[in-house]
Structure 1
Amino acid sequence: MTRSAPAQRSFASGEVSPLLWSRNDYIRNQTGLRTARGFLPLLEGGLTRAPGTWYKGRTKGDQAPRLIPFQFAIDDALILEFTPFVMRVWRYGALVEKDGAPYELAIPYDAAAIDRMTYVQSADVIYIADGARPVQKLKRFALDNWALEEAAFSNGPFRVQNLDKDFTISLAYSAAGDPEVELTASADVFTAGHIGALFMFEPQGYENIALWTSNTDVAVGDYMRNGGKIYKVTAGTNTGVQPPIHTDGIELADKGKGIKWEFISDGKGVVEITAVTDATHATGSITRKMPPNLVGGSTYRWSEGAWSDERGYPACLEIYDQRLVLAASESEPRTLWFSSVGGYTDFEPGVEADQSFAYTISGQASMNRIIGLRGGKRALHIFAIGQELSTRSDSQNQVIGPTTTVIGVDSSYGSSGAVPISPDGNPIIISRDGRRVMQISYSFQDDANTTTDLSRAAAHFGEEIFTQIAWQGSPQRLAWITLASGDPVVMLFNPTEEVLGWARVPLAGGTVESLAVTPAGSGDLDTVTMAVRRTVDGESRCYIEELADIYSASPLADFYDINHLFAGFKIPTTSAETSFSIPHLAGETVYAWTDAGEFGPLDVAADGTLTLPRAASRGVIGLFDTSHQAETLGVTAASPEGDMTGRKRRLHARVGVAIMRTAQGYMRAIERDLPHAVRERARVAIVPAQVSADLTEIYSGEVAVDVESGMATEVSLRIEPHGGAPLTITKITPTIQEAGR
């Protein structure tokens, strides 16, 4: 019989897949856990209690919301709460009010539209697309003054120009100078869905408008062309030697000749359809000056607007390379539209590198519809139902443009459509089947983007389907991901140090309906805000809750501001009291972590009042999740005969435990012998001689915990929390003895 003391010094891999439990040779096994439920792996290798949440309020009518982050500066961050037809604003955990009531903005989105919205922020403006209506522009004028309006894209974009010379549209004014124009088509084209749509027209030719030439006799009212633009003489009789080049108004081109030119058109006119009479007749309003030879005539060179009720509207958008990029209308699900550089509303088509353009990706539209966009550090990433693609410029010295765009396929996993995150500029998405979390990054070795399955070592989480993801960069690098069940899981991720760890964080019976991350008011940490569905006093409610600080990772956190409870109420610091009003937890069983001691379980009265055994002036009262625990993988015993699989072993003597900033917790041995039931040994306090009412100190150092087991083919150690007490473990050293043959 051989004794050994195999130390586990890192838990950074968190909970690993059951398929890895016997892979003692694999690094994720050596730094992994059988269970990490309510315990987070740390970048440094330790294992700490997950933070609790602070109760901030309720959503509008307790409806399921969509939470959207809005950040203008490091100390100017908001959460926008979208519920059907109403938007509200949260600022650092408080609802923005106006005239003594929560500020509300009427919006046109129902629940389904809110769920499919995509958005991108530029300064104080958020552009929103949902595929069912024109792109909207949400503007902030003040905390309690917002406006939502249709984004005005007056210059396009347009579909491919008609080239059928027999299919013409004629234009006629009802009166001279009238901005309204009557359109008559030679074949069916107009539908009611075109109302509000744009049509662009170009003349078939310029047989009556000459090119500008120098020193040519002209008369007032004559037209000439220069550089593709059309001008009208307003003064003078000779063109002189300086041609007109301006693009607006009237200018003197040649002082010696006294010639003045009025800019008329750049050769293209645009009409917004205001009424449709039938399939061949419509009325429109001129939004861009018409070439003079178009009105009163007809042309086959017309282009229908790309977006309308007839053709559909973009379903996703992003800002990349100083362009607003939109994609995936109903009629063109594989098309991207790029604005001009720096002009987010300018979609006038062009051929120069900084001008607007459209790009349609080849492939089967029904299977590979674009459902998301995300800018990366080397490319614009395009996510489709069955593909991941990226686009970049073929020249390092030019932005992507009409002649420089290259689009390639990165992988064929497909995306779920959940809004991706992009830490370090490398997008992380949820796969189409909802079972995997994938990162797309550039490989110098392959000179191409590669896709990595980040959830592979914890694939069992994906069996419950991942639904949304948000990134918290500080104090730890964590991705918060929700499951279809409503439980959040967390992914610790730092590729530079090859750290990747997973854990589940149940919220004491609450389920997450939406989450978002914004900088805290101090600007040095990120705050995770969640909409949590809870049943309280028999009533379904939707709470806004903020994740508390990760205590072990925030060394400046005050001891009595520690929160490992949920829907927490922060005790005011004015004076010591025994009675508190917490109506949001009326009828619930709660725990308290205070400067007077740790108490619980306690019942909150139906009227929301709670009385503590002793007066407290600082601390937190909230829900305690009894399911939280962490369990090691089976402790491996050394044997002179090699592998110990299937052989009996037992824990012997004491377990050495290194703790940091810990008040209390428990450890017990777990024995497994198939096919018998799991045996749980009595739990033992990790910090000796502590009583719950006296938990007023924290400890860092090494302790010996009297945990022993009987003989079993598998023995592991389970760690359990104590109420609201902090608990961080940095090393476990059990003494294990194998029983021999």
Structure 2
Amino acid sequence: MTLARPIATSFNGGELSPRMGGRVDTAIYQVGLAEAENFVPTVEGALVKRPGFETIRAARDGAAWLTNFRFNLTQDYVLEWSDQKIRFYTNGERIETSPGNAYEVAVPYSAAEARSVSCQQSFDRLYLNHPNYPPARLTRTSATTFTYEVLPLVNGPFADANIDAGRTVTVSGTTGAIVITASAPIFQPGHVGAPFRLEAADFSTIPAWEAQTKDITVGLKRRSEGKVYVAASGGTTGTVVPIHTAGTEWDGQNLKDANDKGPFGVQWTYLHDRFGMVRIDSVAADGMSAGATVTRPIPDSLKTVPSFRWAHGAFSAAAGWPSVVIAWASRLCHFKGFELVASVVGDYLNHQAYTSSGVTAADLAFRRTLSTEDPVLWAMGDRRLIVGTASREIAVGAINQAQAVSGDNIEAVPQSFYGSERVFPIQIGTTGVFVQRGKRKLRQAEYDFARDRYQSANMTVWCRHITKGGIVQLTFQKEPEELMIGVRADGQLVVHPHAPEQEIKGFSRIRHGGGKILSAVACASASGDQDELWVLVQRTDGTRWVERMAVWHEDDDPIEDAFYVDSGLTVIAAAGQTRFTGAVQLKGQAVAILAAGGIVTGVTVAADGSFDVPASVVPADRAYRMTVGLPYVARAVTLRPELRGGDTQQGKRQRLVRMVLRLIATAAIRIGAAGGKLDNLIDRASSEHMDAPVPLFTGDTERSVSGGWDRNGQAVFESYGPLPATIVAAMPTLTVTQ
């Protein structure tokens, strides 16, 4: 027999797939773990116990989703979505109309539909798209009030124009409320509320305006620059071409010239362009006519001359609603199926696609159909617009990079063919992360200059099991730890320390101590210097609660400030206080308590939320801090050890006999061999007072391990109390047979 002393100096390989159990030849094996639950691998390599979750409020019945609304860095809101309602949280509190009464805004989305609502923040507005409802916006009207409204789009957008000359329309009037009559059943009930565009068959009956034309009389019509005007005064025309789109203007000075000829100048009143627009208010049962309200003046000729030049709105209950919204290239872009529908530059609500004379311009709105077999599921902005479908990822951008994106300068180029789920991606630094079709793989999209395309590396290549059940939501905590967080369908979180410069590949899991996490979102704190992780938790009794992860414990923070319980709360108790109330979220539960830095066990919360602690465990001479909540265990299991160089240890009978752990600010940790008894690693020193909490330990601590012979040699570390734990390195001693 020989002694083997491998050392683990880093754990940021995270929890590896069981299929990696034989890959001792890989670099990631040397920094990986067989299990990492409620421990988070950090960029530096240490394992850090994750903080607990503090209770904020009970969620509305049926609440299913959380998102955020960021007005600015210090005014960030968490939105709680339930059936047809949104509630709001900010600065650690729920916004209320009166104490105990939540402020709510009515929306059309069900709780189940909330996760499919595409959101785009723009200052005090959150634009919302869902394939079952009209595009809308949520507007912040004050620090504590919001309004929801259907997006008041103007000038469209419109679908492709009709080209069937046999399907014509006429109108009963040109302004106000009118009736549109068609030669075929072109209207459906789902068109009600949608725009409709009508264009004159031609302007053959209206002469062109010309300069210095005499004998103009009041009421005479002329066309100019694609618009029709009526003379409001008589005389001889001037030399200024009419181009106005409202009101009345002169085409000259109404004065004589230097040769005493004239006067030149006629007043022209704008009537209409070549096309007009209406909003459909009602549809006849046979689909042959529709009542409408004029929103842009209609050409007079349409009252008597049928025209096949018309187009339905691109968005309606009949045509379908857009499902994805994103601000890109100074436009608000909507995706409906395979179509990209972009607004006018700098005017998010305006979908004017032509000038008044019928000419397209680079800054006007446009539509573009993507060449792909599947509809768009998500979009994220970068140097190009990256969109995901069920079969491929596509980069949309300008053909000519020297010019702005426009309807005539745009291309869609496939970048990869992995396919995606409708889980909205997140952007981290210079990369984007999306969920591959099947919800099991996370891919990191990053532009590769050498290949001039976006590469999408598989982040979960070493830990395919970590996404078991599928990823349903992604979020990112920037400060103080850089953590990418995914919500699993089974209620666990997967956590990845994101540091591209270090090529960190490790994942770990967070399991809530009292239920399933349904949704999670990062929200900036009131000061803006940290990001808080908010979660929606479904407890084992079926109730749902909004909770917030406590701040990450700094190594030199007082032990009394530790928060390592779930569904917890903290109170400042009076000297000698032993009776507490208000823990209704913990009723009937055995709880973990940290009182003045000391662990209190054996306490169960009563049905009314009250509980008592023994007088012997609380200070009698000073106020103290007490944290109470549901206990959870942070657990790490090492991989089978392998010494670098020399003969392999794999497959040999071995026994873990001793363990040295290098720790920082740690207490209440136990160790042992996998499958064996676990022993407390840190004992109270004989010099320490028995009536004081065990202080947090920093340094190397050694203990013999209770374990038998096996062929694994794996060690287990567990942090079992409501106290912090940071494992910097592990140095086991194993007896190995030859």
* Residue type of the alignment partner of 1:656: V
Cα deviations across residues 96-148 of structure 1 (Å, max 9, x unaligned)? 11144221222222233324222212111112121112112222212443221
- Residues 665 and 720 of structure 1 are in contact (CA less than 8 Å); yes or no, is this contact kept in structure 2? yes
Residue from 372, 376, 383 that aligns with 1:378? 383
Residue from 656, 674, 680 that aligns with 2:676? 680
Which 10-residue stretch deviates more, 439-448 or 69-78? 439-448
- Where 2:717 maps in the other structure, the secondary structure is strand
Closer/same/farther in 2, CA of residues 638 and 114 from structure 1, 3 Å limit: closer
* Residue type of the alignment partner of 2:282: A
Closer/same/farther in 2, CA of residues 215 and 66 from structure 1, 3 Å limit: same
Closer/same/farther in 2, CA of residues 262 and 692 from structure 1, 3 Å limit: farther
Is 1:736 matched up with 2:734?
yes
Residue from 242, 248, 251 that aligns with 2:249? 251
Match of 1:674 in 2: none
Identity percentage of aligned residues: 28
Find the aligned partners of 1:573 and 1:588 in 2 and give their Cα distance: 21
Residue from 274, 286, 291 that aligns with 2:281? 274
- Where 1:460 maps in the other structure, the secondary structure is helix
1:650-689 equivalences under 5 Å are 650-652=655-657, 654-670=658-674, 679-686=675-682, 689=685
Per-residue deviation at 1:229? 2.8
Residue from 381, 388, 401 that aligns with 1:396? 401
- Where 2:543 maps in the other structure, the secondary structure is strand
* Residue type of the alignment partner of 1:452: A
Find the aligned partners of 2:313 and 2:723 in 1 and give their Cα distance: 62
1:42-81 equivalences under 5 Å are 42-61=42-61, 63-81=62-80
* Residue type of the alignment partner of 2:601: G
Match of 1:188 in 2: 185
Closer/same/farther in 2, CA of residues 207 and 575 from structure 1, 3 Å limit: farther
Closer/same/farther in 2, CA of residues 406 and 656 from structure 1, 3 Å limit: same
Count of matched residue positions in the alignment of Structure 1 and Structure 2 = 712
Which 10-residue stretch deviates more, 696-705 or 410-419? 696-705
* Residue type of the alignment partner of 1:168: T
Cα deviations across residues 291-311 of structure 1 (Å, max 9, x unaligned)? 333333321111111111211
* Residue type of the alignment partner of 2:593: A
* Residue type of the alignment partner of 2:91: Y
Residue from 338, 358, 361 that aligns with 1:352? 361
Per-residue deviation at 1:687? 5.7
- Residues 96 and 143 of structure 1 are in contact (CA less than 8 Å); yes or no, is this contact kept in structure 2? no
Find the aligned partners of 1:519 and 1:576 in 2 and give their Cα distance: 37
For structure 1, which runs of at least 5 residues remain unmatched after alignment?
671-678
Is 1:221 matched up with 2:219?
yes
- Residues 637 and 736 of structure 1 are in contact (CA less than 8 Å); yes or no, is this contact kept in structure 2? no
- Residues 684 and 707 of structure 1 are in contact (CA less than 8 Å); yes or no, is this contact kept in structure 2? no
* Residue type of the alignment partner of 2:279: E
Is 1:586 matched up with 2:598?
no
Cα deviations across residues 508-552 of structure 1 (Å, max 9, x unaligned)? 1310112211101121111111110002xxx4210100011222x
Find the aligned partners of 1:66 and 1:492 in 2 and give their Cα distance: 24
- Residues 629 and 718 of structure 1 are in contact (CA less than 8 Å); yes or no, is this contact kept in structure 2? yes
Find the aligned partners of 1:132 and 1:728 in 2 and give their Cα distance: 48
Closer/same/farther in 2, CA of residues 205 and 4 from structure 1, 3 Å limit: same
Per-residue deviation at 1:236? 4.7
Find the aligned partners of 1:201 and 1:732 in 2 and give their Cα distance: 76
Find the aligned partners of 1:39 and 1:714 in 2 and give their Cα distance: 22
1:419-458 equivalences under 5 Å are 419-458=424-463
1:229-378 equivalences under 5 Å are 229-255=227-253, 256=255, 257-277=264-284, 278-328=286-336, 333-350=337-354, 351-364=360-373, 368-375=374-381, 377-378=382-383
Match of 1:13 in 2: 13
Find the aligned partners of 2:145 and 2:573 in 1 and give their Cα distance: 34
- Residues 635 and 736 of structure 1 are in contact (CA less than 8 Å); yes or no, is this contact kept in structure 2? no
- Where 1:540 maps in the other structure, the secondary structure is coil
Per-residue deviation at 1:650? 2.9
Per-residue deviation at 1:178? 4.8
Per-residue deviation at 1:471? 1.2
Match of 2:601 in 1: 600
* Residue type of the alignment partner of 1:615: V
Closer/same/farther in 2, CA of residues 668 and 181 from structure 1, 3 Å limit: same
Find the aligned partners of 2:532 and 2:246 in 1 and give their Cα distance: 50
Which 10-residue stretch deviates more, 278-287 or 202-211? 202-211
Find the aligned partners of 2:463 and 2:693 in 1 and give their Cα distance: 35
Find the aligned partners of 1:541 and 1:465 in 2 and give their Cα distance: 23
Cα deviations across residues 399-423 of structure 1 (Å, max 9, x unaligned)? 3210111111222222220121111
Is 1:96 matched up with 2:104?
no
- Where 1:211 maps in the other structure, the secondary structure is coil
Q: What CA RMSD, in Å, does the superposition of the two structures yield over aligned residues?
A: 2.2
* Residue type of the alignment partner of 1:659: L
- Where 2:542 maps in the other structure, the secondary structure is strand
Closer/same/farther in 2, CA of residues 576 and 696 from structure 1, 3 Å limit: farther
- Where 2:113 maps in the other structure, the secondary structure is helix
- Residues 514 and 566 of structure 2 are in contact (CA less than 8 Å); yes or no, is this contact kept in structure 1? no
Find the aligned partners of 2:689 and 2:113 in 1 and give their Cα distance: 53
TM-score normalised to structure 2 length: 0.92
1:5-154 equivalences under 5 Å are 5-61=5-61, 63-100=62-99, 101-154=101-154
Closer/same/farther in 2, CA of residues 68 and 693 from structure 1, 3 Å limit: farther
Cα deviations across residues 241-273 of structure 1 (Å, max 9, x unaligned)? 111233332233422434333233332200111
Match of 2:258 in 1: none
- Residues 64 and 513 of structure 1 are in contact (CA less than 8 Å); yes or no, is this contact kept in structure 2? no
Find the aligned partners of 1:664 and 1:584 in 2 and give their Cα distance: 26
* Residue type of the alignment partner of 2:110: D
- Where 1:500 maps in the other structure, the secondary structure is coil
- Where 2:462 maps in the other structure, the secondary structure is helix
- Residues 326 and 380 of structure 2 are in contact (CA less than 8 Å); yes or no, is this contact kept in structure 1? yes
* Residue type of the alignment partner of 1:548: A
Which 10-residue stretch deviates more, 244-253 or 178-187? 244-253
Per-residue deviation at 1:190? 1.2
Per-residue deviation at 1:497? 1.5
Is 1:629 matched up with 2:643?
no
Find the aligned partners of 1:476 and 1:247 in 2 and give their Cα distance: 56
Find the aligned partners of 1:693 and 1:722 in 2 and give their Cα distance: 21
Per-residue deviation at 1:576? 5.3
Per-residue deviation at 1:426? 2.5
Find the aligned partners of 2:487 and 2:602 in 1 and give their Cα distance: 28
Which 10-residue stretch deviates more, 77-86 or 108-117? 108-117
Is 1:712 matched up with 2:710?
yes
* Residue type of the alignment partner of 1:124: D
Find the aligned partners of 2:166 and 2:735 in 1 and give their Cα distance: 92
- Residues 175 and 297 of structure 2 are in contact (CA less than 8 Å); yes or no, is this contact kept in structure 1? no
- Residues 531 and 542 of structure 1 are in contact (CA less than 8 Å); yes or no, is this contact kept in structure 2? yes
Residue from 512, 520, 537 that aligns with 2:525? 520
Per-residue deviation at 1:691? 9.7
Cα deviations across residues 649-691 of structure 1 (Å, max 9, x unaligned)? 2334x43322112233111122xxxxxxxx4144231466489
